[in-house]
Amino acid sequence: MTAPVRKGRLLTDASRLRRLTVHGWFLVMIAALTVLTAVCAVTGAVMIDRTSSLSDQLTTRISPAAIEASQMQKALIDQETGVRGFLLTGREEFLQPYAEGLAAERRSRAQVAADIADRPGLLRELNTISAKAAAWRSEYAEPMTAERRDGGTVPAAAVEAGKRAFDEIRVLLERQNSRLAQLRVTSRDELSQAERVRNWAFLAMLVLFPLAMVGMAVLLRRAIGRPLDQLRIASREIAAGDFERVIPARGPADIREVAEDVDLMRVRIVQALGDSHRQQVQLREQAADLDAQAVELRRSNAELEQFAYVASHDLQEPLRKVATFCQLLEKRYGEVLDERGKQYIRFAVDGATRMQVLINDLLRFSRVGRVYDDREPVDLGESLEKVIDDLSAPIEESGASFERPDKLPTIVGDPTMLRLLWQNLISNAIKFHDPARAPLIRIGCEPDEDGWKFSVSDNGIGVEPEFADKIFVIFQRLHSREQYSGTGIGLAMCKKIVENHGGRIWLDTGYTGGARLCFTLPASTVPARSGTEHEGSSS
C-alpha cells in the first residue's frame, strides 16, 4: 500500500471519528468492551474445553486403554502358561487359566478397542494382536491340547513352533503397551501445556480487562471530558466578561456543535454590545438634541403664549373699538346717513365681530394639547348635559330633540376639551339641520376593541362622501357664510381633541338621512359606567 493511500485512509478514519457524537463514543466504547469481553469469554471457554477434553481423554480413554491392554497381555500370557502346563502334565486343571484368560482377553480386547476407536494405528495393531492370538489358538494351542488329551505325545517341534508364534504376539503386546504408555505421557504433557496456556490466558484476561477499562476511561476523558472542560472554562471566562475569548470546538460532533453555537452566541452578544454602545452614544446625542429642542420648545411656547395674550387682548382691542365706534356712528349720525351708508356700517361691525370670533377659535385650536391637557376622570354623561344646557337657546330656537343613552362611560381626559368636543359636534348638528324638519340628534355609545366608540347622528342636510376628509381640515368650508355662519375650525378642532386623547374621528359615509360623525376614545383604568344603546327623547 502506497503512502498516499495510507494517508487517505487515516484522514478518512479521523473524519469518521470527528463525526461521532457523545452517544456515538459511548456506543463505540461499549462495543469495544463487549468485543473484548466476548474474546476473553471465548478464549476462556476454548481453554477450559481444551483442558477438559484432554483430561477426559486421558482419564476415560487413554489410561483405561493402557490398563486394559496390560490385562489383555496378562490374559494371553495366562492362556500360553495354561496350555504349556497341560502339555507337560496332562492335567485338566492347568487348562482353567487358559479358559479364564480367553474370556478376559475378549473383555479387555473389546474395552481397548472402544477406548482407541479414534486412533486407527493402535486399532490396527490391536486387530493384528487379536488375529495372531486367534491364529495361535487355532493352529497350536487347541490342536496340541486335543492331541495331548487323546493321550498322544506332542512333538517338540510343534511346541517350539507354538512358542515362536506366541513370542511374536508377546512382541506385539509389548509394542502396544509401549505406544499406549507413550500416548499417555504425551497426553499428560498436552494437558499440562493446555493448563499452563489456560492459566496464562486467564491471567492475561485479568490484567488486560482492567487495562482496557483504564484505556477506555482515558480515551473517554480525552475525547469527551477534556473538550467539556475547555467548553466550561471558556464559558465561565465569557460569563466573567472576557467576550474576546474564542470557544474551542473540539471533541465529539455534538459537543463541537454546542461549542460553535455558544461561540456564535458570544459573537452576537459582542455585536449586540457594540450596537448597544453605539445606540447609547446615539441616545445621548439625541437626548442632548432633545434637551436643546425642549429649551427651544419652551421658548417657542413662551412666545406663543405671548402671542396668545397679544391676540386675546391687544389684537381684539382695536376690533372692539372699530365695532363700538361704528355702532356709535350709526346711532349718532344714523339720521343723516342713507341706507347704503348704514349698510356699510353694518358690514364693518359684522367684519370686526367675525374677526373676533375667528381669533378666539384660533386661540382655542392652538391651545388643544398644549394649555388644555389636564388628565382626570371625566364623566361624559355629565359633560354632555352641561353642553346641552349651554346650547339651550339654539336648541329651543331650532326645536331640536335628543336620543341618547341613559349612561355614558367615564374616561381619563381633559374636561374642557371633551366638553368642547361635544359642543362643536352638537352645534354642527343644529346648525346644518334640514329647514323642512326639526333637528333630531342621536348620541350613540358602544364598547370597541380599543375602548369606546361614540357617534353623533342628525337628520340634517348631510355631507357628501367625497368631502369626508375635507371637513376635518382647518378653514375648509362646504357652504358660503351667507348660508351658514362659522369659521371652518370646529371639526378640525374636534379631530385634534380626539387624536390628542388617543382616538380617531371619521364621517360615516354609509349613513343616509343626515350626517353621522363617529369617534373613539380609549378606555381608562377608572371604572367606567357602561353605556348601552338605550334611547330616550328629551327636548
The better pLDDT of the pair 61, 529 is held by 61
Mean pLDDT of the chain: 77
Segment among 70-79, 196-205, 334-343 with least mean pLDDT: 334-343
| Order of all β-strands in the sheet with 505-507 | 505-507, 516-522, 451-457, 440-448, 401-403, 537-538
> What is the mean predicted confidence (pLDDT) over 132-140?
85
Percent of the chain whose predicted confidence (pLDDT) is above 90: 3
d(CA 194, CA 55): 10
* Mean pLDDT value across residues 255-274: 78
For the ranges 18-22, 54-58, 95-99, the maximum mean pLDDT occurs at 95-99
Cell triple for 54: 484432554
One-letter amino acid identity for 491? L
Strands 401-403 and 440-448, sheet pairing: parallel
Nine-digit cell at 38? 466476548
Closest Cα to residue 208, out of 32, 444, 411?
A: 32
Whole-number pLDDT of residue 537: 35
140 touches 160 (CB < 8 A): no
Tell me the three state secondary structure of residue 496: helix
Indicate if the alpha-carbon torsion angle 328, 332, 333, 339 is positive or negative.
Answer: positive
User: Residue 413 pLDDT more than 70?
Assistant: yes
As a three-state string, the secondary structure of 324-373 is HHHHHHHHHHCCCCCHHHHHHHHHHHHHHHHHHHHHHHHHHHHHECCCEC
Domain ranges of the chain: 17-231, 376-538
pLDDT in tens, 452-511: 999 999 888 888 888 777 778 776 666 555 555 556 677 888 888 888 888 989 988 888
Residues above pLDDT 70, as percent of the chain: 79
N-term to C-term CA, the chain: 113
Do 495 and 518 touch, CB atoms closer than 8 A?
no
Q: 154 near 147, Cβ under 8 Å?
A: yes
Pick the CATH number of 376-538 from 3.40.640.10, 3.30.565.10, 3.40.50.20, 3.10.580.10: 3.30.565.10
Q: Are 531 and 407 in contact, with CB atoms under 8 Å apart?
A: yes
> Across residues 377-397, what is the average pLDDT?
89
Burial 346-369 (b: 16+ CB within 10 A, else e): eebbeebeebbeebebbbbbbbbe
Place of cell 486467564: 202
Residue 199 has pLDDT above 70, yes or no: yes
Across 105-116, average pLDDT: 84
3-class secondary-structure state, position 410: strand
d(CA 94, CA 274): 126
- Max Cα-Cα span within the chain: 216
Most confident of 32-36, 302-306, 368-372: 32-36
Tell me which amino acid residue 357 is: V
Number of DSSP helices (H) and strands (E) in the chain, helices first: 15, 8
Name which residue leads in pLDDT, 64 or 241: 64
What pLDDT was estimated at residue 508? 85
Instruction: Give phi and psi for 458, each to the nearest 5.
Output: -140, 170
Q: Which CATH class is domain 17-231?
A: mainly alpha
pLDDT of residue 306: 65
Taking only the tens place, the pLDDT of each residue in 283-337 is 888 888 888 887 876 776 666 666 655 655 566 667 676 778 777 777 777 677 7
Of the pLDDT bands very low, low, confident and very high (cuts 50, 70, 90), residue 366 is low
Mean pLDDT, rounded, for 516-520: 91
- Among 70-84, 213-227, 249-263, the range of highest mean pLDDT: 70-84
Per-residue b or e along 280-304, where b marks 16 or more CB atoms closer than 10 Å to that residue's CB: eeeeeeeeeeeeeeeeeeeeeeeeb
Query: pLDDT-derived band of residue 525, with 50, 70 and 90 as boundaries?
Result: very low
User: What confidence score (pLDDT) does residue 484 get?
Assistant: 58
Residues of 233-256 as b/e, b for ≥16 C-beta within 10 angstroms? Answer: ebbeebeeeeeebebebebbbebb
Least confident of 18-22, 424-428, 532-536: 532-536
Least confident of 51-60, 281-290, 516-525: 51-60
Return the ∠ at Cα 361 (arms to 358 and 364), rounded to 5°.
Answer: 150
| Residue 20: pLDDT band with limits 50, 70, 90 | low
The per-residue pLDDT for 531 is: 36
Report the pLDDT value the prediction gives residue 168, as an integer from 0 to 100.
87
In this prediction, residue 520 carries a pLDDT of 92
The per-residue pLDDT for 309 is 59
Dist CA 67 CA 87 (whole Å): 30
Would the pLDDT of 530 be above 60? no
Q: Which of 78-82, 213-217, 443-447 has the highest mean pLDDT?
A: 443-447
At residue 314, the pLDDT reads: 61
Which of 454, 468, 469, 458 minimizes the C-alpha distance to 515? Answer: 458
pLDDT at 37: 76
More confident residue, 490 or 140: 140
Question: Which pLDDT belongs to residue 528?
Answer: 37
How many other C-beta atoms can be found within 10 angstroms of the C-beta atom of residue 104? 19
Residue 134 has pLDDT above 50, yes or no: yes
Nearest to 521 by CA among 531, 509, 536: 531
